[in-house]
Amino acid sequence: MIWSLIKVLLFVGAIAGLSYGASVLMDTGGGIQIALLGMEFTLGPLQAAIALLVLLAALWLLLKLVGLMVAVLRFLNGDETAISRYFDRNRERKGYQALSDGLMALASGEGRVALARAAKADKLLDRPELTTLLIAQASEMTGDTKRASEAYKLLLDDNKTRFVGVRGLMRQKIAEGDTVTALKLAEKAFALKPKHEETQETLLNLQTGQGDWKGARVTLGAKLKAGALPRDVFRRRDAVLALQEASGVLDEDATIEAREAAIEANRLSPDLIPAAAMAARSYIAKGDSRNATKVLKKAWSVLPHPDLAAAFAEIAPDESSAARLKRFAVLTKQNPDNMETRLLLAELNLTAEDFPAARRALGDLATSHPNARTLAIMAAVERGEGADDAVIRGWLARALTAPRGPQWCCDKCQAIHTAWVPVCDNCGGFDTLSWREPADATGPSATGTELLPLIIGKPEQPVIDVTDVTDEPEDAEVVQDEKAEK
């Protein structure tokens, strides 16, 4: 309403200005005298202004006629589209202007404006590879997925735009959660452009998400050839995929190929803990304890881990505690200062009921690095050495609220997993799990479980022997009487 009023006022102002200018020119004396071919023309100021405007219009018309004549001459010389191009030139200019405005609106996040400009450009231009793509992207921005899908499907008809159409449909299916269809579209896009880095990554994520490990290894190889992946990262991830191919290695009907795949995965990446454990179990299943020990020993030297110790125990499951302690020296002599090595040695000594040795192996871990495992081992040591129940309960109470220690944590989303998996269940990241202590963002418990040691008892200092007390004989006698009563 206001804009309409402003336009009316501007129009009235323009008419008033022209009228005022014409009256001023009519009142002005003098004029212009033109002599041509023996004739003289005298023009007043207003007539001169009108003549100038007419001359400019005639010049513009002359240029248009010259352009038309040139187009006709080109047509006569064999250029069949010369005349049509001449008449379509203005139409094309407007079309490209609308296309440019649409692209700017799309980049600015104005989806509806971009869609309107794209529709106008589509009417004026015969360039569907440009206008249809703009319509598809503008429709996606406005939430009109149906129209966007129709636009992407139109792009499939042309070889030049087929990849763009397949990629657009693939992204739509991923957004909808239809990963099965998205995987098929990703495979088509990969076939059209095998070196396209984004398509390689998308296809790899879809394949790993659906358990197509064999296909994922092919895609991973393509990424290496395209230079999109360092060789060391490739070897690590290829080992992960090989490991998943051999996931049924311990099944009763596991084939020789599956067992060899587990060994191959360990060869590709010796520091991959699940691969080392699975390869060792593969050797154990074949009765080859020598190679199983070799694999686990090498992996333990890189990173001590409970899964490696569990696989090492399976080599001789029926051995005695003393024999097991002796055999495990192959592992415990490597990385002796590592916390996992010390905990393993403490647990082995607990099993052998050598509690002083278990305490020595544990050292100060229960106080310097308290977690559920170290505190539980300390409670077992105290119990084995005959400590009071209050002391044992104190250690166990601390273990209830202590951190769990190293776990499989996703480096991408920090999610914690109870077991190693190639794809994070939370964020879908591939090969993002590492064995470490999770970031501790917790504070005091809302339930007050930190007070449990005060309620049920806490670790106590050893009782001072009465022979060391000389200044207070009466207290010493009391202590001796209490011992006699016990």
349 neighbors 358 (Cβ within 8 angstroms): yes
For the segment 156-198, what is each residue's pLDDT rounded down to a tens digit? Answer: 988 888 999 999 999 999 999 899 999 999 999 999 999 899 9
Query: Is the overall model pTM greater than 0.75, yes or no?
Result: no
Give bridge partners of residue 41 from the DSSP assignment.
34
Mean pLDDT, the chain, whole residue set: 79
pLDDT, tens digit, 9 for 90 and up, residues 260-307: 666 777 777 777 888 888 888 888 888 889 988 988 998 898 889 999
Write down the pLDDT at residue 376. 92
* 16 pLDDT higher than 60: yes
Predicted confidence at residue 206, as pLDDT, reads 92
- Ranking 109-118, 125-134, 189-198, 365-374 by mean pLDDT, the lowest is 125-134
| Residue range 348-368: mean pLDDT, rounded | 92
Q: Is the pLDDT of residue 226 over 90?
A: no
Lowest mean pLDDT, pick from 195-204, 226-235, 267-276: 267-276
| More confident call, 474 vs 227 | 227
16 or 7, higher pLDDT: 16
Give me the sheet containing 407-410, strands edge to edge: 416-417, 407-410, 433-436
Q: Is the pLDDT of residue 14 over 70?
A: yes
pLDDT above 70 as % of the chain = 76
Q: Is the pLDDT of residue 453 over 80?
A: no
The secondary structure element, H or E, covering residue 163 is helix 162-176
User: What is the per-residue pLDDT for 309?
Assistant: 92
Mean pLDDT, to the nearest integer, of 24-29?
A: 61
Please check the confidence at residue 205 and state whether its pLDDT lies above 80.
yes
pLDDT at 22: 65
Torsion sign over Cα 438, 442, 445, 446: negative
Return the pLDDT at 37: 64
Amino acid at 144: D
Q: So what's the pLDDT on residue 377?
A: 92
- What pLDDT score was predicted for residue 26? 61
With a pLDDT cut of 90, the percent of the chain lying above it is 24
pLDDT-wise least confident of 24-38, 61-75, 100-114, 282-296:
24-38
Q: Which tens digit of pLDDT belongs to each residue from 34-67?
A: 666 667 666 666 666 677 778 788 887 787 677 6
Query: Of residues 297 and 32, which shows the higher confidence score?
Result: 297
Residue 308 pLDDT: 92
List the structure tokens of 28: 């002005």
pLDDT for 124 equals 78
35 backbone dihedrals φ, ψ, rounded to 5°: -110, 120
How much is the pLDDT for 253? Answer: 52
What's the pLDDT at 472? 40
Distance separating alpha carbons of residues 125 and 90, to the nearest angstrom: 11
Residue type, 85: R
Res 469 pLDDT > 70: no
Which one has a higher pLDDT value, 55 or 362? 362
357 pLDDT tier (thresholds 50, 70, 90): very high
**Per-residue tokens: 456:** 């049920």
User: Which of 380, 387, 330, 391 has the alpha carbon at shortest distance from 352?
Assistant: 380
- With DSSP H G I counted as helix, E B as strand and the rest as coil, what are the percentages for the chain, rounded to 5? 65, 5, 30
Beta bridge partners of residue 408, listed in sequence order: 417, 435
| Phi, psi (degrees; rounded to nearest 5) at 411 | -75, -15
